[in-house]
Amino acid sequence: MQIIKQIQTAVTDQLPGNGINRQDSIETTLYACPKCSTTYIASEMDRCPECQATLDVVPSGAELGITE
């Protein structure tokens, strides 16, 4: 079980249905910490704020279930 911490407040909701309606251009990336198994959502992060480990970038498309 993974913990997901949302760093930025302005993360657009995932809209089901046809396409993705992005009303703003805020792009966030998922970062996974290999040490404490925490996933962070942020625009940019380098290190885990908890343990200072280098974060792995998670492909956001796969995470959101977007295939196209």
* Residues near Zn ion (CB under 5 A): 33, 35-36, 48, 50-51, 53
The CB-of-57 to Zn ion minimum distance in angstroms stands at 14
Do β-strands 29-32 and 38-42 pair in parallel, antiparallel, or remain unpaired?
Answer: antiparallel
Q: Which is nearer to Zn ion, 15 or 52 (CB)?
A: 52
H-helix or E-strand spanning residue 64:
helix 60-64
The CB-of-25 to Zn ion minimum distance in angstroms stands at 29
The CB-of-37 to Zn ion minimum distance in angstroms stands at 8
> How many helices and strands in the chain, by DSSP H and E?
1, 4
